[in-house]
Every structure is written in structure tokens, then in C-alpha cells.
Structure 1
Amino acid sequence: MAGRDKTEAVRQPRTAGDGPDGRTRVVVHIAPTPFFANRGCHIRILNEYEALRRAGIRVIVCTYGLGSDVADVDIRRIWSIPGYRKTTAGFSPFKPLADVLLFFLCLRVVLHEHADIIHGHLHEGGLIGWCVKTALFWRRIPLIMDIQGSLSGELRAYGTFRHLPLLLRFFSWLERLILRLPDRIICSSRASFAFIVDTSLVAEKDIEMVGDVVPASFFTVLDKRTQRERLQLASDGIIVIYSGSLLPGKGIDVLLESMRLVARSHPAISFVLVGYPKEAVEQFLRVWDNAPRVVLPGEVPYRRLAEWLAVADLAVDPKGSESGEASGKILHYMASGLPVVCFSSENNRRFLGEHGFFAVGTSATDLALAMDLALTDERARHIYGALGRERAAAEYSQDAVGRQLRALYDSLA
């Protein structure tokens, strides 16, 4: 009962010389999450997959039993677990069982597919990968762990163990232990890099920064008025957009309060909040007197996200830096030519340079002030949007990240 393979598993083009004996290099990616759902972590995994395929590497994704299949992606799944239906971010009591089943699935796939490298996503993926590597010790398979932030920081941000500080302390200890297991660590932000070095005593040479990938479709310029009409939005007026999980850990509570403050001086403004779950936001809107137009499209397929970004004049990212996780949504905003309002974290400034509307503090009031500045300076919005698109195209394309990951694999295999 280790798992089930897709019988129509994708066979990627083979080119000689990548792996041992002249065969195409095979890399197993471990995704301990209900892949695919329209979430930042899943988007990163999918875009890395496509970047590596363009680089001539065969990739297999091992993941949970729930989640959507993606065309042309070789996905192997564990058996579905009765009662496990949660696809949003955050802890689930079913995850420990899912991870045990995922270990057995990965063990079988790595062995039968003669994998050359194990690439574990998130801390659980790194731990599962280490268990597989240890079980197949005679193969001496290199292990890479790909993280986006701090495990304990994410649990703290979501409030998972707010009433159990000893348990949170245990996860902090476990995180430091896991970070010492892989041969190389990939992280997506400078905050994560510093956290790993400072807390886990991992050598800097064993950590590599790999940014998120933005597919070419997001750089395509779509007509704003046409897209607004097609999506039944107001053809005139300024639209501010947010895309991502509508959860406190992503800063949605801060965003809602900042929207309330901004609407007082910009009553004609509209907001589009793309994401899920919607219930808490809907409750907030029900008690908001004289609220502006707020559109909640719900979950939008990732491959259609560019169509929604095209309707906006301004994008906002309310996420703080507590978890150390990089915010890949900012890169998608940039690729779409949108000026960005966000907090002044090291990672956000690494993406935007000096061409963002940065909140000077960390409160909803600070975010609202930055949003107000952007709304009242149309010229700056156009300049920042154009420069952001250029920056994203130059540094975060699929080909650039694919070359970086392939070079990393070459150094280990």
C-alpha cells in the first residue's frame, strides 16, 4: 500500500550524457503536500519542474493522494486517506500518516526509476528524502532540500501551537536537526539563508539561493479594458489586486484593515482578492459599512492568474517576514507590469530594488499609507511597473532557473 503510480506517467525527452551510462538524469521531487493546489509552494514546485524539463532533466513528483493533476507532469501519489480533504496551507492531523505513506512511495520510485538525485521540498520532504537515502545507503544518492521559510516560523505565523509553547519549541529543535541532513539546501530568500546559517550551523557553501520562476505567459501584455469586460469588472476606476491564500499567516487580516483605511480617502477604488478560503473575508465585508467594491473570485487556476492580474492598476502583498519565506507572488506582479505595495523586508527589496511602494512599518496603517502614496502618484506607478517587468524578465525566467538547478545537480551527481 505504498502508493499508486499514474499509468499515463509522462516520459520526458531523453538526451544522452546527463546521467550515468549516458542516460537522461532522473530526479525525484518529494512534495509532502496535496499537490497541485493554487498555492505558493505548489506553484514553485510546478515551475521548477517545467524549468528542469526545459533543461533536459527527467523529473518525477511524489506527493499526497489529493490535489489536482497537471497536464504533462509526471505525478506519483500515495493512496488517498479517508477524511483528508484539506488542500489549504497549514497543519492537518492527517499529515503524519500521509508522510509515512509518502516515504514508502518515494522509496519504491527512487529504487525502480534509478533516480540520480532526491530533491525534497519543505522540511518534511527533506526528512523523508533523508530516510529514503539512508534506506538505500549503498546507492549514495545526493539529497537536496528545497525550503521557502522556517518551519517553526510558519507554525507560529499560522498560530498552530499558540497555546502549546513546548510543542513549538520541539518543532524548532526538529527544524534545526532536519537542516543538517541534506547534502545541499536550496532556499528562496536571504532571510531563510541567514536563519539556516545562524540557527543550524550549516556552512554557507552548502546553501544556495534559488529564486522563484515566472512562466512566460505572465509577461504577455493583455488589454486591461478587454480583460475587465470579460471578467465582468468595472471598466473605469482603479483596481487594487491581491492573489494568494486568504489566511492570517499570509497577512490577509492586515490587508483587510488597510483596505478599510484606504477606502476612506479613495471611495471609488475597487479591490480584487484572488484566493481562498473566502469565509473570513466575506464575514469581514458583511460588517463593513460603506464598503467599496470588493470582488472575491475564489480559487483561480494558476494558468489563468495572468488574466486576473491584467485587470489591475496596483498589486499588494501584505505578508510580513516572520516566517522567512520569500513571496513569489511579487515576481508574478512584476512580470505582469504591476507596481507593488508591500512591507520593506529584505526579500521584497531584493525583488523590487528601489522601485516599490514600501510600508515603513509593519502595521495595517503603514501598509495603507504606502497604498495611498501609490494611488496618488500615477506616474510613479507606471515607471515602477515597467521597471519591475524588465527586472523579472532578466532574473527570474524559466531558462535562468533551469540552468542554475542543473548546475547544482551536476555538482552533486
Structure 2
Amino acid sequence: MKILLLAPHPFFQARGTPLAEKMMLEFLSARGHEVDLLTYHEGADVEIPNCKIHRIVQVPGVRNIRPGFSMKKVVCDAVMFEKCLRMVRRTRYDLIHAVEESAFIAAFVRALTGVPYVYDMDSSLAEQMIEAYPRLNFAFPALRRAEALAVRQSLGVLTVCAALEDVANDLAPGKPIGRVEDTTLLTSNPFDHNGTVLPEEVTEGPTAMYVGNLERYQGIDLLLEGFRHTLHHLPDAQLVIVGGRKDDILRYRDRAFSLGIQPSVHFIGPRPVALLADLLREADVLVSPRLKGLNTPMKIYSYLDSGTAVLATRLRTHTQVLHDDIALLVEPEPEALGRGLADLLGDAPLRERLGRQAKKYVQQEFTPEAAWRKLDAFYTKMEARIAETKP
């Protein structure tokens, strides 16, 4: 088939959704499909057989586009809509694979041209907008109806977690839905490093680590406030935070200073995905303090696969994958997180048990091979539905 994949964000970047899209492109290519990718002007080019990258024009003043809803994305999506229409008029596509809010673009194109689309639902757009702009809460019913229309008009919906599968089922009972969770990013052959991959300023002591972007929904404020409580119980504990933009790092470094914990908190910035396995093994505990969102953070799967003990907030974003046999789950408030982290850092047998059971669990359920099997089952259904509509 000839497929148009809409990616409404910078591509490629080494973070959750773009990483999942790269895997999707590799899957579609291996399946023999020819894919055009339409994405934003920002991001790195990648070489994937049978895949051609098309970018929108650079909008003056629009750069450094962050994850999540923003006015920058609204502007870029409007430009993407116009370019998508031109591409569809020029090329006969069999299917549009629409990620996140581009499903609205795909729904409009379907109404004009009849080209079917798959809704790749990485988040609930209605809930994401309300979380970003709480004053829009009055508009939630209207936003949910718009989301429901995008689901109902689609050929099928692809979700990344059980919570989003429930949302799609509620919006359109009977609609074909596939669930393909993210996978571990760790390889079986990590780089061979002599000694530590952490900077010298990270001194010896029990070490907790967070890896990921520093957007507010990730709960970094909660992590820093909680770590202050950890230091009351374990004064030599260290916290390493990997990832983030420069402005975010500066903001949270100031926050650590105001909390009086700066000497024990180390912001080391982004690191290549190829170093992820080595980084995770340097920690005694891996932390995911996320506060908002339905989808499970992609980092969780690599955390579990590392064999290092995991601590996370007891919210559905985590509990749809994590349970008490493989992670220490804590209430999303500073004292509970800080005390839980101190307890786990101080209990080597518990860390070893959680890490061992977590690694076994993720290698059974959340490998790239498992994701490809689920994608294969979903796309087999979609291809059959498309074949039924052709003369």
C-alpha cells in the first residue's frame, strides 16, 4: 500500500513519540508498504527503506517546539493541514496513519477524498488540553465530542496503553482497536565502557536516577521536594537527572538550590540512547514521578529491563503496567515519595528482588518482537478492511 503517515511534532528526536514512530515506519517498510512521512520542520532526518520524509515550511519565529499542547503546535498543524491536502491531491494514498491530533486533519481529508485513516492515539487530546490549560475545563465536553468524532470516522484506532484503549472503546463501541505498548530501548549488546558513564561530580553514595524530558507533567517538582525528605533519612544519597532542555535544567537547578539540596542533585543533560543501558545500571533506584497523563511513560519499559529497582507514583499512568511485585509504588506527594525512595535505597535485598522480577516481566511482555506481533495483527485487520472497500 501507499501510506501517508502524519507526525505532528519534530521528527526525529530521541524521545517517546518520535521513537515509537520510527519503529512504526520500520514496521511498515518491512511489511512492504511505501510510506511518505509528513512532519514538522524541526528534527533530524533518518534513513528508512521505502520511506520518504516531507517537512512543512519553517514558520517564522516558531522553533524549539516542546512536547504537549502549545500555540506553536497549533500554528504548525495548520501549515501541516494545508500541505497534507496538497500531497493527497497529488498522490493516491491507500491509507493515512494519523498520530495524535493529526487525526483531525485525516478526518477532514477523508470527508473530502474518501482516503481512510488509522488513528494512532498516543494520548487523550481532550484531557491533554485541559491539563495544559485548566481554564478550558468548561470546554471539555466539546473537546471530548471532537475526539469522539475522530475515533468514529477512523478505520481503526491504535493505542499505547489500557487507559487509552478504554477511552477509545467508550467513544466508539465496536470500533477495531489495537493496543501496542511501547518497548524497552535497551539492546542486548550495550557499549563497553571502562568505569562509570556518570560525571565526576556524582560522588559515591546511594544513587537515584530520573531519565526523560523535564516537562511539568513529569513531576520533577515532586521529585525534588520528595528528595529533600530522602536526604533527612539518607544524607549521602545522590539524585541524577538525565535529559531536559537548557532552560528547564536552569529552572529546576534553581529549585534544587531553593530547597537546599543542590549539592546532592546532578543535572547532566541529554545523553545518547546508545548509552541508556549503561546509565541505568549506574543507579540504585530509577524514578518516575509523573503526575499527569494516561499513557505509560516510555522510560518505564527500559527502566524495568535494566534490572535496577524502580520507584513510581501510584497513578494509572504507571499502574496499568506496574504492580507491587515489580516496583515500589508511592502516593504522589513529596513525603511519601521521599520516604519510599529512602527505604528502597537503603534496602539492597528488596532492590535486587524488584529488579530481577521486573526484568523477567518486561522481557515476556514488552519487547520489540512482541510489539511487532501486535502491530502485525492490527495491520492485517486494517488491510483486510481496505481490501473490502476496493472495487
TM-score (norm 1): 0.82
Report Cα offsets for 1:315-358 as digits up to 9, x if no partner. 111113x4312221100111222211012334533433443333
The structure 2 residue matched to 1:77, chosen from 55, 58, 75, is: 55
Q: Is 2:106 aligned against 1:135?
A: no
Number of the residue aligned with 1:104: 82
Report Cα offsets for 1:64-104 as digits up to 9, x if no partner. 11122234464211111111113222333232332232123
Q: Is 2:191 aligned against 1:236?
A: no
> Residues 287 and 129 of structure 1: is their aligned pair in 2 closer, same or farther, counting only changes over 3 Å?
same
> Residues 204 and 226 of structure 1: is their aligned pair in 2 closer, same or farther, counting only changes over 3 Å?
farther
Distance (Å, rounded) in 2 between the aligned partners of 1:349 and 1:116: 38
Number of the residue aligned with 1:7: none
The structure 2 residue matched to 1:144, chosen from 99, 102, 118, is: 118
The structure 2 residue matched to 1:86, chosen from 56, 60, 64, is: 64
- Tell me if structure 2 keeps the 8 A contact 1:334–1:385: yes
Report Cα offsets for 1:233-286 as digits up to 9, x if no partner. 547322211112212212122111111111111111111111222132111022
Number of the residue aligned with 2:169: 197
Give the gaps of 5 or more residues in structure 2: 384-391
Number of the residue aligned with 2:13: 37
User: 1:226 deviation in Å?
Assistant: 1.8
Distance (Å, rounded) in 1 between the aligned partners of 2:98 and 2:84: 10
The structure 1 residue matched to 2:40, chosen from 45, 52, 64, is: 64
Q: Is 2:150 aligned against 1:178?
A: yes
Amino acid of the structure 1 residue aligned with 2:363: A
- Tell me if structure 1 keeps the 8 A contact 2:160–2:182: yes
Amino acid of the structure 1 residue aligned with 2:71: P
Distance (Å, rounded) in 2 between the aligned partners of 1:385 and 1:35: 33
- Tell me if structure 2 keeps the 8 A contact 1:263–1:292: no
- Tell me if structure 2 keeps the 8 A contact 1:117–1:409: no
Number of the residue aligned with 2:280: 309
- Tell me if structure 2 keeps the 8 A contact 1:242–1:317: yes
Which has the higher mean CA deviation after the structures are superposed, 111-120 or 258-267? 111-120
Number of the residue aligned with 1:155: 129
> Residues 259 and 52 of structure 1: is their aligned pair in 2 closer, same or farther, counting only changes over 3 Å?
farther
Distance (Å, rounded) in 2 between the aligned partners of 1:298 and 1:384: 27
Give percent identity, aligned residues only: 26
- Listed as ranges, the matches of 1:374-413 within 5 Å are 374-413=344-383
User: 1:402 deviation in Å?
Assistant: 1.8
Number of the residue aligned with 2:103: 126
Number of the residue aligned with 1:115: 93
| Aligned residues: CA RMSD | 2.7
Partner SS for 2:301: helix
Q: Is 2:260 aligned against 1:260?
A: no
> Residues 411 and 393 of structure 1: is their aligned pair in 2 closer, same or farther, counting only changes over 3 Å?
same
The structure 2 residue matched to 1:325, chosen from 292, 295, 299, is: 295
The structure 1 residue matched to 2:339, chosen from 347, 350, 369, is: 369
Distance (Å, rounded) in 2 between the aligned partners of 1:225 and 1:271: 22
Partner SS for 2:196: helix
Number of the residue aligned with 1:226: 195
Distance (Å, rounded) in 2 between the aligned partners of 1:343 and 1:130: 36
- Listed as ranges, the matches of 1:211-222 within 5 Å are 211-217=181-187, 219-220=188-189
> Residues 250 and 126 of structure 1: is their aligned pair in 2 closer, same or farther, counting only changes over 3 Å?
same
Q: Is 2:176 aligned against 1:206?
A: yes
Report Cα offsets for 1:28-68 as digits up to 9, x if no partner. 22111122234322222223333444555444321111122
Number of the residue aligned with 1:246: 214
Report Cα offsets for 1:129-164 as digits up to 9, x if no partner. 222333322xxx43111112222322233xx32334
TM-score (norm 2): 0.86
Amino acid of the structure 1 residue aligned with 2:326: G
Runs of 4+ more than 6 Å apart: 222-225
Distance (Å, rounded) in 2 between the aligned partners of 1:355 and 1:53: 38
Give the gaps of 5 or more residues in structure 1: 1-24
- Tell me if structure 2 keeps the 8 A contact 1:27–1:115: yes
Partner SS for 2:133: coil
> Residues 104 and 263 of structure 1: is their aligned pair in 2 closer, same or farther, counting only changes over 3 Å?
same
Number of the residue aligned with 2:24: 48
Which has the higher mean CA deviation after the structures are superposed, 232-241 or 204-213? 232-241
- Tell me if structure 2 keeps the 8 A contact 1:120–1:126: yes
Which structure has more relative contact order (CA 8 Å, sep 6+)? It is 1
- Listed as ranges, the matches of 1:326-341 within 5 Å are 326-341=296-311
> Residues 406 and 236 of structure 1: is their aligned pair in 2 closer, same or farther, counting only changes over 3 Å?
same
The structure 1 residue matched to 2:258, chosen from 264, 276, 287, is: 287
Which has the higher mean CA deviation after the structures are superposed, 279-288 or 52-61? 52-61
Number of the residue aligned with 2:249: 278
Distance (Å, rounded) in 1 between the aligned partners of 2:326 and 2:362: 13
Distance (Å, rounded) in 1 between the aligned partners of 2:46 and 2:35: 14
